[in-house]
Homo-oligomer: A and B are copies of this chain.
Amino acid sequence: MANRRASITDLAKTLGLSPSTISRALSDHDDVSEATKARVRQLAEELHYQPNQLAAALRRGRSNTLGVLVPHITGHFFPQVVHGIATEAAKLGFNVMICQSNEDSRQEQKNIDLLMNSQVEGILVSLANTTHSFGHFEAVRQQNIPLVFFDRVVEDFSGSNVSAVMIDDYQGAYQVVTHLIEQGCTRIAHFTGPLHLNIHKNRHQGYRDALQAHGLPIDDELIMFCEMSQKGGTAAMRQLLKLPQRPDAVFSSNDLAAIGAIQAVKSARLRVPKDIAVVGFSNEMFTMLTEPMLSSVDQRCEQMGKTAVQLLQKMLKSGPNRQGPPKPIVLKPKLLVRESSQKR
């Protein structure tokens, strides 16, 4: 019963015209008479004609589709970025095909192949955290398909059609610590995850440099390598509270651990921010819900998605023969000061 859709050939036959004319009329080509266009359009309407993008794409060699590959679509960050990507892509007239690597390098590779097979015109990728070799991007580079890494990028993978969008974690951390110092804090602790991950490395460096720039010592005692979860934050804070001289502030590399810290402070009958100020990182939705509300750093997730698409389009437009690869774009993060770090 499959009601086959009307094709250009069908329209052509019905109107006694040639397929070429129909095609031209539908794409509002200049050299088709208005009269003909009108007839064609009307019949198309009547028959609910739907152009077959597959065929058009095949013929044109352009699919009008962008490929997106993210580790997953859960949590806070990736959905937001994907939202930014989808929105911007739609605005520029691209379709979007989305794949998840599930943090698995093997799946990442398969999905890259899949996207290339699907003839996407460009690819946006955030790396799986298990990815350490980049052979699968070699093919993309060779085919000169524009490739934009975002957030989790390959630093030493360049090419005339490869670029990246990141957020300046260093800068964000630096701002946080400066802000805490301005609030009068002098013993500022830092919660961080493993430093082989870029985000932690950079945030940590921002922390150190900001302290030094303001003439404050770096006290290893105050640097906690902890699991960046609520529990991890609570545990780390408990330990800090046992120090002979406890800290007067905590900068946590994410919001979850910051919340954990706040809870530990509270249950030790101390107050945030009076006794200990706390700042997180990422501006998760729940930062507005805690008591006190948590200061944090906004990562401009949506902006990142949007920027990545724009960058891709720029590469698409200029073609691969421009002067050198496009410069990576580094977004400025935004410190949001809320109750948890405002002493007065």
Name A residues whose Cβ lies closer than 8 Å to a Cβ of B. Answer: 1-3, 5, 48, 50-55, 57-58, 63, 65, 72-74, 78-80, 82-83, 86-87, 90, 95-100, 102, 113-114, 116-119, 139, 142-144, 230, 256, 259, 263, 266, 285-286, 288-291, 320-321
Contacts and interface: CB of A to CB of B under 8 A. Distances in A.
Contact of A142 (B3, B65, B102, B285): B3
Contacts of A97: 65, 95-98
Contacts of A116: 50
Contacts of A83: 72-74, 100
How many copies of this protein are present in the complex?
Answer: 2
A1 B144 contact: yes
Contact of A95 (B82, B90, B114): B114
A255 to B, nearest CB: 9
A54 B58 contact: yes
Contact of A73 (B55, B82, B286, B289): B82
Contact of A86 (B55, B99, B139, B266): B99
A51 B116 CA distance: 9
A287 B51 CA distance: 47
17 contacts: A2-B144, A5-B143, A50-B117, A53-B117, A53-B118, A74-B79, A74-B80, A78-B79, A79-B79, A83-B100, A86-B99, A90-B99, A95-B99, A97-B98, A230-B288, A285-B285, A290-B290
